[in-house]
A and B are shown apart, each in its own frame.
Chain A
Amino acid sequence: MTGPADNGSAAKGSADQGSADKDGQVPEHDPHAPGPHDPDGRGHFGPYGGRFMPEALIGALDELSAEYDKARLDPEFTDEFARLLRDYAGRPSLLTEAPRFAEHAGGARVFLKREDLNHTGSHKINNVLGQALLTKRMGKKRVIAETGAGQHGVATATACALMGLDCVVYMGEVDTQRQALNVARMKLLGAEVIPVTSGSRTLKDAINEALRDWVTNVDTTHYLLGTAAGGHPFPVMVRNFHKVIGIEARAQFLAQTGRLPDVVTACVGGGSNAIGIFHGFIDDPDVRLVGIEPGGKGIETGEHGATLSEGSPGMLHGALSYLLQDEDGQTIEAYSISAGLDYPGVGPEHSWLKDTARAEYRSVTDAEAMHAFQLLSRTEGVIPAIESSHALAGALKLGQELGPDAFILVNLSGRGDKDMDTAAKYFGFYEES
């Protein structure tokens, strides 16, 4: 009873997603409904989150909060969002068992939530469709965004093309080189791509530059932040736009296996795909939630992006959360082979999930991620994003730890087409030809 044919019946529509629930618990049907996992009124998850932002932006954050609080309860908005996810993004995404890959995971059963099959090739489309709809509701005509690997930039440019919004994407100069194909995609979609040459010239600096643009043009412009980080309401809002991943996956998992997974794992850069899938299972106490951070060249080398594993609480880009920082509070530049994961901060809810031990965070190295990247390609015919390959490498280890009785759900957050150049260089394919 596995395979793509089962996916549709399990998760079509929004009203009956829990119908396959066999353990008697009532799953969360409405991803937008306020609930016990929301932050307090000022955006705090425990001590984390909040608004460490310039006063000049507080008005815009207040406006966004007020609009989002109305929209999340407004069927006109939530229905339109659900329609776009279904008819434009292609949801529900499949749940695919990966038995040949799983042979390398201690014989555990491994299932992939196929966010790579969404329109634009990653989970990012969920959040951008939601925020672009909000932008229109607020009467703003211009959207700015940051991007690391280019997945969020492409998704934002896509939503802006769809909805007739002007789009400017800030991208670190280093990343524009690593991800030239995505730069071309964004331009084709009508976006202006601005290479950022300050600081480390990667994602962190792209966010800095986008914030500088926003504070200057806030009357006309919405900052479409791409991860569940930043000042309130971004972490809760972005999370809720991605909850569909976890809600679908839970129903699909039950339909295919008759049970819940033992572990749900996802890669964590800023943490948006992870928070989205985790929330499908957050009230299932027996389901372990494991976030996989980029260990880069190895934690001991200092060249990594393992914020939750190695960082300490601090403020970056508007929220208190774990942060890679030195003893003076200066941000330490992150490193990962994956342009989408080399971010020294992380969304504040992950910090809270770590401190409360509801989720665990560990890291895998570049080499482990690239091994999983190749392994999934060769065993299942699915080329994952290098970001998602971190979660796959985590699943290999988890499977070996847990043994053949384990059921593991991996969020395959994106596809690897964009990473072909990095991969070809890494594996020496160019020299072979």
Chain B
Amino acid sequence: MGRLDPLFAQTKAEGRAALIGYLPAGFPTVDDSVELLRAMVDSGCDLVEVGLPYSDPVMDGPTIQAAAETALRSGFRLRDLFRVVEAVSSAGGRAVVMTYWNPVHRYGVDAFARDLAAAGGLGMITPDLIPDEAGDWIAASQAHDLDRIFLVAPSSSEERIALTTAASSGFVYATAVMGVTGARDAVGSAAEGLVARTRAHTTLPIGVGLGVRSGAQAAQVAGFADAVIVGSALVTSASSGVGAVRELATDLAEGVRKTPTTIG
């Protein structure tokens, strides 16, 4: 039983996709990030991904790279992550952490899982950890009852999709395009095909991320995915303040409710 199962049961019952919003902890400061993440929850994000700022974010485009640099320059420390997660959870939000693997490895995989669970976190998205290397994390996530969200990509073979979905819980993260994070005018046409290929291997919900920036795009993705994941566009709007984040999150939340979804 995944920690995120109740969420997806609810959105499915409502005949819509879930909206998942990303923001790095500590951006632009720790306190500001708490306020921004709470605003995302209030404005309709069913789940927030709390990013861990990292010195070498090779999967991220310029927007999230710059946000991570800002957070680290303003003194973000790893322990602040748990404070941010706790602040979101205690306000009634659902949070998972999205992080490159080295900080978790350095902290100690089991200790990290323990402290994340204690802060109310529900799971972890691991963009540079594949199940093949994830023995420690699989054990720790079971011990501390956290969801493991691994990624599939358009370049993934059937064999790898089978392996990755079998190791996942909560949902599966489908990267819509081959490339780094960043808002795009069009979500990759590869996304729909990837979701279809992934469904053949799993009953887990499938979230699609990389490139979504508007309610209209969210509606389009909601037509074939169980969750719409928005990152860079929210990070960009955060630079204009909490009002801009509320506005974008509201637009996206309307987007995921627009598409008629076949029930059952």
Contact = CB atoms under 8 A, between A and B. Distances in A.
Interface of A: 42, 50-60, 62, 198-199, 204, 208, 211-212, 215-219, 312-318, 320, 323, 325, 327-331
B178 interface: yes
Given A56-B153, A212-B59, A329-B105, 13 more contacts: A42-B132, A50-B133, A51-B133, A56-B151, A56-B155, A56-B175, A58-B156, A59-B155, A59-B160, A208-B56, A216-B179, A316-B102, A329-B104
A51 B132 contact: yes
Nearest to A200: B55
A315 B102 contact: yes
Contacts of B155: 55-60, 218-219
B82 interface: no
B142 interface: no
Given A215-B180, A314-B105, A329-B107, A54 B132 contact: no
Contacts of B232: none
B150 interface: yes
A51 B156 CA distance: 15
Contacts of A217: 178
Contacts of A329: 54, 78, 102-107
A86 B178 CA distance: 39
B133 A52 contact: yes
B54 A54 contact: no
- The listed residue with most A CB atoms (<10 A of its CB), out of B57, B133, B154, is B133
A385 B150 CA distance: 44
B99 to A, nearest CB: 9
Contact of B150 (A42, A55, A312): A55
Interface in B157-197: 157, 160, 164, 175, 178-180
A218 B132 CA distance: 21
Contact of A212 (B54, B77, B127, B180): B180
18 contacts: A55-B175, A59-B155, A59-B157, A60-B155, A198-B62, A212-B59, A215-B58, A218-B178, A219-B178, A314-B106, A315-B102, A316-B102, A328-B77, A328-B78, A328-B106, A329-B102, A329-B103, A331-B56
B180 A59 contact: no
Given A55-B153, A59-B160, A328-B78, A315 B127 contact: no
Nearest to B66: A198
B152 interface: yes
Given A58-B156, A215-B178, A329-B78, A52 B129 contact: yes
Nearest to B210: A56
B201 to A, nearest CB: 14
A211 B179 CA distance: 10
A328 B106 CA distance: 7
Contact of B127 (A54, A218, A316, A331): A54
Contacts of B69: 199
Nearest to B65: A198
B59 A215 contact: yes
Nearest to B151: A55
Contacts of B150: 55
A55 B160 contact: yes
A96 B152 CA distance: 53
A238 B154 CA distance: 28
Closest 8 CB pairs of A and B: A329-B106, A329-B103, A56-B153, A59-B155, A216-B179, A328-B78, A330-B55, A331-B55
A60 B157 CA distance: 11
A55 B179 contact: no
B253 to A, nearest CB: 28
Contacts of A325: 102, 106
Contacts of B77: 328
Contacts of A58: 130, 155-156, 160
A199 B160 contact: no
A225 to B, nearest CB: 13
B128 interface: yes
A397 B154 CA distance: 53
A218 B164 CA distance: 20
- The listed residue with most A CB atoms (<10 A of its CB), out of B62, B69, B154, B179, is B179
A58 B164 CA distance: 12
A327 B106 contact: yes
B102 A55 contact: no
- The listed residue with most B CB atoms (<10 A of its CB), out of A208, A212, A312, is A212
A305 to B, nearest CB: 16
Nearest to B80: A328
B128 A52 contact: yes
Contacts of A316: 56, 102
Contacts of B179: 212, 215-216
Given A59-B157, A329-B104, A53 B130 contact: yes
A212 B61 CA distance: 8
A212 B58 contact: yes
Interface string B72-111: 1000011000000000000000000000011111110000
A330 B178 CA distance: 26
B106 A54 contact: no
Interface string B237-251: 000000000000000
Contacts of A216: 178-180
Contacts of A330: 54-55, 72, 103
Nearest to B152: A55
A245 B130 CA distance: 35
B205 to A, nearest CB: 18
Contacts of A204: 56
B151 A54 contact: yes
A219 B154 CA distance: 11
Contact of B101 (A52, A198, A313, A327): A52
B160 A315 contact: no
A199 B56 contact: yes
Nearest to A208: B58
B102 A314 contact: yes
Contacts of B127: 54
Contact of B128 (A53, A212, A218, A219): A53
Given A216-B179, A328-B106, A54 B153 contact: yes
Interface in B28-70: 54-59, 61-62, 65, 69
B198 to A, nearest CB: 12
A334 B152 CA distance: 33
